[in-house]
Structure 1
Amino acid sequence: MIVTRNLRLRQVLFYSWKSLAYFFALAVTIYVLHHELAIKDLSVPFEAVALLSTALAIFLGFKNNSAYDRWWEARKIWGLLVNYSRAWGREVLTLSLDEDDAPDAELSAWQRRLVYRHIAFVHALRVFLRQRHDYNQITDEWLETSNTYEDIRPFLTKEEADEVLSKQNPPNYLLMIQGRELQEAYQRGWLSDYRFVKLSSTLTEFNNHQGMAERIKNTPFPRPYSFFSRVFVYLHGTLVPFAFVEVLGVFNIPLAMLINYIFLSLDQIGERTEDPFENRAGDTPLTSISVTIEGNLKEMLDEPELPEKPPRLKGVVF
């Protein structure tokens, strides 16, 4: 997620330099043909381009609103995951008691195991949604450790980690193991009927959060919007230099570039917002949220060493 107010030129040009090069070459070519080679009849009515500009602005506005809704829904899902993760830690630590209403070493180990396994679930869900997309557009490098299932191993036993990572859906399998642990605790008397149901309902919420996130990940933004917005932006950008070449002369080149850059930026904003789980600069900061959850839960366990949040990378939080 980009948190700095000012975008770096490299970030902007990473996505748009090819299109800008095309629009610049087109504007220069039209100027040379009309004013240097005296080829007439190269202009198109300004009114036609203005009408197309209005229609394109409305279309891009609708597309960007829809894309932002997907991005914001993803952020709300992970915000709920933070809240329910804190609730899970509190419930595990306060609702489970042994028969004498006093925690013993075995119960404490069980509580720590459930909390740590949930931390593993959060990190596994992050990796599962990003599908190992480790390319960083800011530094033009492949990230080696930012998105790997190895992040869950410190929170599980080696045998359990190997078992989980052998599954097609590791985060879902971790929730199933949590359910087994709750059943075992109920049978041993650590959880009453009500407390077992309460913890199980919280576990179900994690299934809901994963399912909602997978819905966004696996349902692409309607492709006709993406395809036709790109077509219309290029069609409009191609016509813009023809609308001003007659009256502006050489100044037609910077004006055409400015107008085309505005519409190109609007189109690119929607393109980079519609898929919030791709580990790109503008996506939902899953790594930062995961570390926040890890720190909150470890603090509930009174552990002295808490994880540090990942630093901003040139104004971007991943």
Structure 2
Amino acid sequence: MLLYKRIPLTFLLRNIRREALLVFLFANLVVFAKMLFHLRYLTIPIAIPTLLGTCISLLLAFRTNQAYERWWEARIVWGAIVNDSRSFIRQVQMFLPDGPNRQLMLQAFVQRQCAWCFALGDTLRGHQVAERLRQFLPPATVDELLTNDNIPNALLADHGIAISQLYKNGQISDFQMTHLSATLNNLTDSMGRCERIKNTPFPPTYTFNMQVFIYLFSAILPFCFESDLYYLDVPLVTLISCGFMLIEKSAIQLQDPFENKPTDTPVTTIARTIEINLKTMADFKAVPEKVPAYDYYAM
């Protein structure tokens, strides 16, 4: 997630450097051809790129809005995960009866929930989760979890088994069992929403069509200026085209919030915040520090 810090120009321009170079070279080619061969009849009325640019602007506005909605939905889901994780541990803390093993049982739930948060974020980004799980769970439990196709779902299943065992032992009531199950259902729903965003690509035909329109606009624009204005013509064509390309590339970055990029939803930072909150609630002696941000973004 980009922060309110100075974003380097290289981050903004590196995704369009090839396209910008092609536009610059093409604009030079057109202008030199008009100057050397006196091909003034190649001039196109400015109304044509004006109309095309207006259409592109409307399409880009819709494109950017849809991409931002996907990113914002992912952020809302992880906000719900924060709230439900706190609620779940608070419920366990309230419902567990007093006894010699109460603190150990509570901390086991905390460790499993922290492991789930990190495992979900790492899985969405395509990372390996084995080392992360070993930070929270016993080796035997980790080995068993790694045999599952969906590790976050298996962790929630372990939550459910532990709660069911408490119910069978008479340590929690029907009412408490219902509340804990409802919170687990909320966590499952949030996990499913993240997986839907991850596994549903933005329609590639829309991206292709948008790029075709931008390239067509960039190809037409050099023909709309007089060749005598070479020193103004080429920079203007390049800058205007780069403006459209930057907006389009920004939309592409936002539409996939779990791709391990600076524009991602900061799932690792959020998971660490959850870990700090839950371990503080459960009176852990060792509470980790917050994940430090990078120069201009958090992951």
TM-score, with normalisation over the residues of structure 1?
Answer: 0.91
Alignment of structure 1 residues 1-318 onto 2, 5 Å: 1-97=1-97, 103-132=98-127, 148-246=129-227, 248-318=229-299
State whether residues 233 and 267 of structure 1, in contact with CA within 8 Å, keep that contact through their aligned partners in structure 2.
no
Cα RMSD (Å) of the superposition? Answer: 1.4
Please report how far the alpha carbon of residue 235 of structure 1 lies from its aligned counterpart in structure 2 after TM superposition: 1.1
Deviations 1:104-132 (A, max 9, x none): 22232111111110110111100111113
Residue 27 of structure 1: CA displacement?
A: 1.1
Equivalent-residue separation in structure 1 for 2:46 and 2:130 (angstroms): 56
CA–CA distance in structure 2, aligned partners of residues 186 and 309 of structure 1:
35
Asked if the contact 1:127–1:149 (Cα under 8 Å) also holds between the matched residues in 2, the reply is no
Alignment partner of 2:274: what SS?
helix
May I ask how many residue pairs the two structures share in their alignment? 299
| Amino acid across the alignment from 2:191 | Q
1:227/1:11 CA distance change after superposition, 3 Å: same
Amino acid at match of 1:36: L
Give the TM-score of the pair, scaled to structure 2.
0.96
Note the C-alpha offset of 1:245.
3.8
Q: Relative to structure 2, which stretch is displaced further, 171-180 or 233-242?
A: 233-242
Give CA deviations for 1:216-256 in whole Å, capped at 9, x if unaligned.
Answer: 11111122221111111111111111112446333101111
Task: Show structure 2 runs of 5+ residues with no match.
Answer: none
Contact 1:281-1:316 within 8 A present in 2 as well: yes
Give, in angstroms, the shift of residue 37 of structure 1. 3.9
CA contact (8 A) 1:117 1:155 kept: yes
Provide the identity percentage: 35
Q: Which moved more, 1:76-85 or 1:103-112?
A: 103-112
> Matches of 1:184 and 1:218 in 2, distance apart?
34
* Partner amino acid, structure 2, of 1:128: T
- Quote how far apart the aligned CAs of 1:32 are: 1.2
Q: Which amino acid aligns with 2:77?
A: I
For 1:14, give the aligned amino acid. R
Q: Which amino acid aligns with 1:217?
A: K
Structure-1 separation of matches of 2:6 and 2:224 = 32
Distance 1:66 1:40 in 2: 42
Q: Distance in 1 between matches of 2:220 and 2:100?
A: 75
Per-residue displacement from partner, 1:123-151 (whole Å, max 9, x unpaired)? Answer: 1100111113xxxxxxxxxxxxxx64411
Deviation at 1:188, TM superposition (A): 1.3
Structure 1 pair 45–5 and aligned structure 2 pair: CA distance change class (3 A) = farther
Q: Classify the secondary structure of the residue corresponding to 1:105.
A: coil
Matched residue SS, 1:15 = coil
Distance (whole Å) between structure 2 residues aligned to residue 303 and residue 43 of structure 1? 74
Q: State how far apart, in whole Å, the 2-side matches of 1:56 and 1:247 are.
A: 28
